[in-house]
Amino acid sequence: MPSDLISQTVQGALLSVASNVLAQVITSYKENTPFSLNLTPILKFALFSVLSNPPNILWQNFLEDLFPTHVQTRKSEKASGRPSNETKSHMNMTNVLIKFILDQTVGAVFNTLMFIVFMGYINAPSAEKQSPWAAVGREIKDKFYPMIMDGYKVWPIFSLVSFLWIPVDKRIVAGCAVGIGWGVYLSMMADA
pLDDT of residue 173: 79
72-118 pLDDT, tens per residue?
Answer: 887 666 556 666 667 788 999 999 999 999 999 999 999 999 999 99
pTM (2 d.p.): 0.83
Residue 117 CB partners (closer than 8 Å, separation 6+):
136, 139, 140
pLDDT score of 1 more than 60: no
To the nearest 10 degrees (0 to 180), the angle between helices 93-102 and 39-66 is 140
pLDDT of residue 78: 57
pLDDT score of 190 more than 80: no
Residue 34 main-chain phi, psi, to 5 deg: -65, 140
